[in-house]
Each structure stands twice: as C-alpha cells, then as structure tokens.
Amino acid sequence: MYPSLQEKLQRYQELELKLQDPEVLADVSQMVALQREMGGLAKVAKTVRSFNDLEENIETARTMLEEEQDDEAREYAEQELDELLQQQEKIKEELEELVAVGDSITRGGLIMEIRAGTGGDEAGLFARNLFDMYQRLVEKRGWKSEVLEINQTELGGIKEVTFSITGEGAFHQLQFESGGHRVQRVPETETQGRIHTSMATVAVLPEATDVEIDIKSDDLRIDTFYASGPGGQKVNKTASAIRITHLPTNTVVQCQDEKSQHKNKAKAMRVLRSRLLEAKEQKAQAERADQRRTLIGSGDRSQRIRTYNFPQNRVTDHRIGLNLYKLDQVILGNLDELIDEVLKFDRDERLGRSGDAESN
C-alpha cells in the first residue's frame, strides 16, 4: 500500500546508512546535502514506519486471537486489535494527505525570484513590498533566508531579487506563489490621487541537489565582471561578479551580491541547478499530461494569480476565487489563511484525481 511513500522510506533508510560512513562524514558539503535531503524525508519516513509497525502488530494480534482459547484472554485480544485498527485508520488519513501533496512535502528548500513588471518605479516598489512580505513570513515560520542576487532601483524599489528559503515545509507552503502579482493603489508620487495598476512576477524554484542535477564543467561558460549598483555605482573594485552560462540550454545566471568571486560562483550555481531542475520537471509534466500539477500549480509566470487592492484592503487569489479583506495583515507576512486555502484546493483536486491509484 502507498508504493510512492514506501520508496521514500527506503531512500530515508539509505541516507541513514550513508551518514554512518566515515568518508561521507569527512566531506562536509556532501554530509550537509544528505542531511538536508534526509530532513525533507523525515516526516514521510516516520509516518510510513508507524504504519508498517502497526500492520505487523495487527497481524500478530489477529494470530493470537485465532489461537487463544480462554474467553477472558480472547476479550483482551479483541480490545487490543480494535485499538490497533483505530490507530491504523488515523495513520491512513495521514498517509493519504502525504500522497495528496506529492513530492513537495519532501523538499525543504526553494529559490524564489521576484521581478518588477509593468508600472515603472511603482512596480519596483511593489516588488520590494513582496520581498519584504515573504521575509516577514520566513521570520514568523522560523525558516532561514539568504539573498543570492538583488538589483535595486534608486527609489528603494527592486528590479529583481533572487533569494533562497530553507526550513521544514518551506517549498510545500510556497510552491504556488509563482505567477503574476498585481497591485492597485495610489503611488506616493501620484499628485492627483489616481489609482495605478502595476505588476511583479514571482517564480518559486525547488532547490536542486547535486544528485538531481549533475552539471558538467565542460557545459559551462563562466565570465567575471565588475559589480555595480543603482545608477552605475561600483559595489567593489575587483571583478568579483560572476555570470554562468549553461551552454546546452543557454541558461544564464549571474551573481554580484558578495565581494568574493568564490561565494558569488557558489550562489550562482545554486540558482542554475534550480532553474535546470524546474525545466526538467516542466518537460516531464508535459510528457505526462495526465499527471500534471493542478491548475493552481501550473507555475506559469505570466499567469495573473493575485491582486492586492490597497484602497479596499483586499487581496484576491484569482485561481480559487478567494477574497480576503485583510491586505494590511497579508503584506505584514500573515499569509497563513491565503496559503492554507490554496493548498486545500490543490489537495482536494489531487485526492479526487489520484487517490484511488495510490491505494492499490
């Protein structure tokens, strides 16, 4: 039962053994990567193990009940079996939930990209609002965030920013933030009080491991250049900024946030792996049309998913028809209700579509 979850338990057990290998423990980067993967699988592994243990205990209890002749002992065995079956039903519900959310539950990390769209300076300021909103959410959830690349405007807005978020359930919670985010409000620079509409796009990429995406050095072109800030201001006087081009796919990533060329290269490689993994998964989904993600999980950056209307204090998620008149709270990072409703919609769709197949 639940073959996909049993496979995850098997992988978790393999990682347990690897982390006992002295050679792995001596390689810090490999050890950290394995620990990160193991952390993502921990919840699934614990639940599946409990289910497997219960199945064994239920089988043992049934055997004892069949063999027992004493009436008092049989009554005790029946009570014990009933309790075990009740526990099993509860864990079955948890397993169905894990099946419904798919692989997202096993990923702890993500890379998010926010880019200002149409709307000039106001779009840049809105992109800054979105970045701050997600940073506040990270703080509330006890996750960790690291800026990988940021390009700011002279007015304090953001042209584009790339940052990582790590923590238990981070990717699962934020996987559906990808798409177009629209704001309707009166800009600070507007003298006649007119409402303007601006856009920003958000992309959520699963953070890839070396195992998932193996990049050959021969497939890369690495260029260095001088980092610069708003208005051409020099960030430093050394050619520490890095631009990496993945030649087979013509995917280009650059990073100049750090003063160290080595650190910029490491950050750029993290982003490159995640973009290549995203492209790989989208291709696989296209080839298996019947197993595509649900409507809200299309991940299309051009799709308008949400509107933030400041005059009405309203945030609207267009994919599920949800209106919340709590924009003042949402923009402060209180996204729980919004995220929960989107995840519930996706879960219900998944259960209705694939629950029967998994239970065989």
Q: What CATH number does residue 36 fall under?
A: 1.20.58
Above pLDDT 90, what percent of the chain? 40
Domain that holds residue 235: 217-286
Is there a single domain that holds both residue 205 and residue 253? no
Most confident of 28-32, 101-105, 144-148, 165-169: 144-148
Is there a single domain that holds both residue 57 and residue 118? no
**Which one is predicted more confidently, 242 or 193?**
242
Q: What is the CATH number of the domain that holds 185?
A: 3.30.70.1660
Taking only the tens place, the pLDDT of each residue in 12-29 is 999 999 999 998 888 887
Is there a single domain that holds both residue 151 and residue 53? no
**Contact, 150 vs 159, CB < 8 A?**
no
Domain boundary among 76, 104, 132: 104
Is there a single domain that holds both residue 42 and residue 19? yes
Tell me what pLDDT residue 231 has. Answer: 43
Tell me what pLDDT residue 245 has. Answer: 93
Q: What is the mean pLDDT of residues 34-49?
A: 83
Q: What is the mean pLDDT of residues 318-342?
A: 96
**Contact, 63 vs 55, CB < 8 A?**
no
Is there a single domain that holds both residue 100 and residue 114? no
Is there a single domain that holds both residue 151 and residue 261? no
Is there a single domain that holds both residue 15 and residue 58? yes
Is there a single domain that holds both residue 205 and residue 122? yes
Taking only the tens place, the pLDDT of each residue in 73-105 is 888 888 889 999 999 999 988 887 777 666 666
Domain boundary among 104, 119, 148: 104
For the chain, the domain total comes to: 3
Is residue 320 over pLDDT 90? Answer: yes
Domain boundary among 286, 313, 340: 286
Q: What is the mean pLDDT of residues 278-291?
A: 62
**Sheet with 314-317, edge to edge strand ranges:** 144-152, 158-166, 109-116, 196-206, 179-185, 304-309, 314-317, 322-324
Is there a single domain that holds both residue 76 and residue 224? no
Q: What is the CATH number of the domain that holds 229?
A: 3.30.160.20
**Which one is predicted more confidently, 40 or 142?**
142
Q: What is the mean pLDDT of residues 277-290?
A: 65
Is there a single domain that holds both residue 93 and residue 240? no
Tokens of 139: 């703080």
Most confident of 267-271, 315-319, 342-346, 347-351: 315-319
How far is it, in rounded angstroms, from Cα 130 to Cα 160? Answer: 11
Is residue 256 over pLDDT 60? Answer: yes
Tell me what pLDDT residue 360 has. Answer: 43
pLDDT band at residue 234 using 50, 70 and 90 as cut-offs: very low
Other C-beta atoms closer than 10 Å to the C-beta of 79 total: 11
Is there a single domain that holds both residue 197 and residue 112? yes
pLDDT band at residue 232 using 50, 70 and 90 as cut-offs: very low
User: Pairing state of beta strands 322-324 and 314-317?
Assistant: antiparallel
* Mean pLDDT for all residues in the chain: 84
Phi-psi map region of 255: left, alpha, beta (phi>0 left; psi -120 to 50 alpha): beta
Is there a single domain that holds both residue 180 and residue 150? yes
Tokens of 123: 């779009």
pLDDT band at residue 323 using 50, 70 and 90 as cut-offs: very high
Q: What is the mean pLDDT of residues 315-338?
A: 96
pLDDT band at residue 206 using 50, 70 and 90 as cut-offs: confident
